């Protein structure tokens, strides 16, 4: 009898034979396959009694190393898988260990920040066990536990502000150069001699300045409570601290400055003038109130009093308190009509209390049934009465409007007169015909730009008799010589109203002129007038005589040339 070990042979293949003893003794064979099941008869053991791992102090949540064991049971089974446990050296919970299922190794992790300056070496005792219980007859192992020595290396750590954020209460109006606070850091690298330098990362109003070496913070501009950079009277600034390690690290700290109210504005009295009716009534009075540029608790309630106390006014007048901001000035007895100047002192409730004296002019006047002062009060006021700004603006606007209407009427009348004195063709001084020019451009450089003289039509009486045309008239070579000459008007009419008839008469004469050339007729010019900048043109007459010309082809040019064909058809 012997024991079966899975580690030696896991499968047995057996051949079986069965035979009988009757007759010839027949037999038969068969194959039997036997699989050996594993049992947990081998406890795991570490491959070494001690493991060493090195880790930097800034590694948190990272894998720092692994340890291995040996288990002779079948891999992948529950008899082979193990669990690791840290049984000593991990009181602070800095480390943890997990099993890697594929390799059965133990993976060691850092769970919390390590501090080289406090502890630079950690010694852990780790125990290993199978997930399934070991069989009672299994041999005991000597390496069911091992030591793991974790050595921590130093790295440059960023400095830390002890108080972040730092809250301060600063009174408004603090002047430049005033000391504010000291805002410093602690450097975790106590085993290194490092220097810390301070700076400002965020200071939107540019109120602060910091000493680079000491971290002392001063005011470089006056702190204003009404600054737009305040949020609910709170100012935020960010201070930096940088060490000189390798590599250098920077820490930031937030400075929250609460700007507190300071009593720096005395209250102002309103109104400066008041009216009371001479028909004395003990309940009538002038309503007084005050405004203060400060906020609570340095503003209302306000206190009103007449100064000095022993004056005549204080005996004839009294002030009654209504609420925190309003009081009423009343006469103690019947007061004669006139204007009285009272000195009123208004005080706030701040610390320290501020007060200011104001002059209140009170006019006692006879009032109408409605309670308004009659016009006679103006005489009483004297120099104290004047036009308000609104009334002055209304009067000034009315005067300007009246002047504008007068100017508009004058301009309209002037234009009407000018149009009345102009003639038929003088309706506009900017008649476009004043700018019509006759251009006889024969090519580049011509300077024939004599303007059309519109004055001859506007003032026909002043037109000089036209000068007879010198030289010969243009001769139509094709015109018959027996036609009579048309009668053109000799000179413009004397009356401008007849200018239309004058122009129509000239047009009719030109239309009936038999000597008028057609559009495409060549003319012969032998005189071009005096003062012409261009030389006299030569004759454009043809070299051949009229008898040599054949004009029958004109009939083939269509109806537009029918007149020419009729005139030259006989030649």
Q: What is the pLDDT of residue 99?
A: 93
At 16, list the tokens: 């079986």
Q: Which domain holds residue 113?
A: 45-153
Structural domain includes residue 431:
no
Q: What is the pLDDT of residue 516?
A: 66
Within 3-49, strands assigned E span 11-19, 27-35, 45-46
Is residue 183 within 8 A of residue 212, CB to CB? The reply is no
Q: How far, in Å, CA of 542 to CA of 539, rounded?
A: 9
Low-confidence spans in the chain with pLDDT less than 50: 1, 376-386, 423-435, 446, 463-483, 542-544
Q: Point out the domain boundary residue: 350, 384, 418.
A: 384
Structural domain includes residue 422:
no
Structural domain includes residue 479:
no
Q: How far, in Å, CA of 564 to CA of 555, rounded?
A: 8
As beta bridge partners, residue 107 has 66, 98
Look-up of token digits 């007068």: 406
| Same domain? 187 vs 230 | yes
Structural domain includes residue 271:
no
What is the tally of helices (H) and strands (E) in the chain?
6, 28
Please tell me the total count of domains within the chain: 3
Q: What is the pLDDT of residue 205?
A: 93
| Same domain? 143 vs 168 | no
| Same domain? 311 vs 248 | no
| Same domain? 149 vs 208 | no
Structural domain includes residue 164:
yes
Q: Counting Cβ atoms within 10 Å, is residue 115 exposed (0-12), middle (13-18) or buried (19+)?
A: middle
| Same domain? 233 vs 305 | no
- Per-residue pLDDT tens for 359-408? 999 998 888 777 677 654 444 444 444 455 566 777 888 898 889 889 98
Structural domain includes residue 32:
no
Q: Which residues contact 420 (CB under 8 A, 6 or more apart)?
A: none
Cis upstream peptide for 102 (omega within 30°): no
Q: What is the pLDDT of residue 502?
A: 78
Look-up of token digits 């069911």: 144
Tell me 294's DSSP state. S
Q: Point out the domain boundary residue: 384, 404, 424.
A: 384
453-470 burial, b if ≥16 CB within 10 A, otherwise e? ebeebbebeeeeeeeeee
Tell me 382's DSSP state. G
| Same domain? 62 vs 137 | yes
| Same domain? 324 vs 367 | yes
| Same domain? 204 vs 148 | no
Q: What is the pLDDT of residue 517?
A: 64
Q: How far are the Cα atoms of 414, 430, 456, 457 from residue 424, in angstroms, in the given order? A: 19, 14, 13, 10
Q: What is the pLDDT of residue 86?
A: 94
Q: How far, in Å, CA of 60 to CA of 292, rounded?
A: 59
Cis upstream peptide for 247 (omega within 30°): yes
| Same domain? 165 vs 149 | no
Q: How far, in Å, CA of 313 to CA of 329, rounded?
A: 11
Q: How far, in Å, CA of 29 to CA of 327, rounded?
A: 130
Q: How far, in Å, CA of 311 to CA of 340, rounded?
A: 13
Q: Point out the domain boundary residue: 153, 181, 213.
A: 153
Q: How far, in Å, CA of 46 to CA of 128, rounded?
A: 8
As beta bridge partners, residue 359 has 343
Torsion of the alpha carbons at 314, 316, 322 and 326, rounded to the nearest 10: -60
Residue of 516, 506, 511 lying closest to 479 (CA atoms): 516
Structural domain includes residue 366:
yes
| Same domain? 187 vs 129 | no
Cis upstream peptide for 319 (omega within 30°): no
Is residue 251 within 8 A of residue 161, CB to CB? The reply is yes
Q: Counting Cβ atoms within 10 Å, is residue 302 exposed (0-12), middle (13-18) or buried (19+)?
A: buried
Cis upstream peptide for 352 (omega within 30°): yes
| Same domain? 357 vs 318 | yes
- Per-residue pLDDT tens for 79-126? 888 999 999 999 999 999 999 999 999 999 999 989 888 898 999 999
CATH number, domain containing residue 87: 2.60.40.60
**Count of alpha carbons within 13 angstroms of residue 201, beta-carbon side:** 14
Q: What is the pLDDT of residue 310?
A: 65
| Same domain? 135 vs 192 | no
Counted residue by residue, the chain has a size of 571
Q: How far are the Cα atoms of 131, 389, 408, 410 from residue 397, in angstroms, in the given order? A: 105, 12, 17, 20
Q: How far are the Cα atoms of 127, 423, 426, 457, 493 from residue 460, in angstroms, in the given order? A: 136, 11, 13, 6, 7
């Amino acid at each position: 009898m012997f024991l079966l070990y899975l580690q030696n042979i896991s499968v047995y293949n057996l051949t079986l034979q069965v035979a009988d003893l009757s007759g010839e003794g027949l037999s038969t064979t068969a194959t039997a396959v036997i699989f050996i099941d594993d049992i947990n008869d081998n406890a795991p053991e570490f491959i070494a009694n001690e493991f060493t791992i090195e880790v930097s102090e800034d590694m948190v949540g990272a894998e720092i190393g692994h340890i291995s064991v040996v288990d002779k049971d079948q891999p992948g089974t529950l008899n082979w898988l193990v669990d690791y446990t840290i049984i000593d050296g991990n009181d602070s919970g800095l480390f943890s260990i997990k099993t890697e299922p594929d390799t059965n190794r133990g993976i060691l992790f850092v769970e919390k920040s390590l501090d080289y300056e406090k502890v630079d070496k950690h010694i852990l005792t780790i125990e290993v066990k199978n997930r399934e219980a070991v069989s009672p007859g299994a041999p005991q192992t000597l390496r069911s536990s091992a030591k793991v020595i974790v050595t921590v290396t130093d790295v440059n750590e960023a400095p830390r502000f002890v108080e972040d954020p730092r809250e301060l209460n600063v009174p408004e109006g603090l002047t430049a150069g005033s000391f504010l606070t000291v805002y410093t850091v602690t450097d975790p690298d106590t085993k290194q001699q490092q220097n810390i330098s301070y700076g400002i990362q965020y200071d939107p109003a540019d109120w602060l300045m910091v000493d680079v070496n000491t971290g002392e913070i001063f005011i470089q501009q006056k702190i204003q409570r009404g600054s737009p950079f305040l949020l609910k009277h709170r100012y935020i600034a960010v201070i930096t601290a940088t060490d000189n390690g390798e590599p250098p690290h920077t820490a930031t700290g937030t400075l929250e400055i609460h700007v507190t109210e300071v009593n720096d504005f005395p209250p102002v009295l309103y109104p400066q003038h008041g009216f009371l009716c001479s028909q004395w009534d003990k309940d009538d009075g002038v309503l007084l109130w005050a405004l203060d540029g400060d906020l609570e608790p340095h503003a209302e309630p306000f206190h009103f009093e007449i100064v000095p106390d022993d004056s005549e006014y204080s005996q004839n007048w009294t002030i009654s308190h209504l609420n925190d901001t309003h009081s009423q000035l009343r006469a103690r007895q019947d007061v004669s009509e006139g204007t009285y100047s009272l000195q009123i002192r208004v005080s706030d409730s701040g610390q320290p209390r501020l007060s200011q004296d104001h002059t209140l002019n009170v006019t006692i006047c006879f009032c109408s049934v409605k309670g308004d002062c009659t016009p006679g009060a103006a005489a009483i006021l004297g120099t104290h009465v004047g036009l308000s700004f609104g009334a002055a603006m209304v009067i000034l606007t009315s005067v300007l409007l009246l002047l504008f209407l007068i100017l508009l009427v004058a301009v309209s009348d002037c234009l009407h007169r000018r149009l009345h004195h102009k003639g038929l063709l003088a309706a506009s001084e900017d008649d476009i015909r004043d700018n019509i020019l006759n251009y006889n451009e024969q090519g580049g450089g011509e300077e024939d730009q004599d303007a059309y003289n519109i004055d001859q039509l506007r003032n026909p009486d002043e037109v000089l008799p036209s000068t007879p045309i010198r030289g010969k008239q243009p001769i139509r070579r094709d015109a018959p010589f027996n036609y009579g000459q048309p009668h053109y008007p000799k000179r413009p009419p004397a009356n401008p109203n007849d200018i239309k008839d004058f122009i129509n008469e000239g047009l009719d004469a030109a239309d009936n002129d038999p000597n008028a050339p057609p559009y495409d007729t060549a003319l012969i010019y032998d005189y071009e007038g005096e003062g012409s900048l261009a030389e006299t043109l030569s004759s454009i007459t043809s070299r051949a005589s009229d008898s040599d010309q054949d004009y029958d082809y004109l009939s083939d040019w269509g109806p537009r040339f029918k007149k020419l064909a009729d005139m030259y058809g006989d030649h």
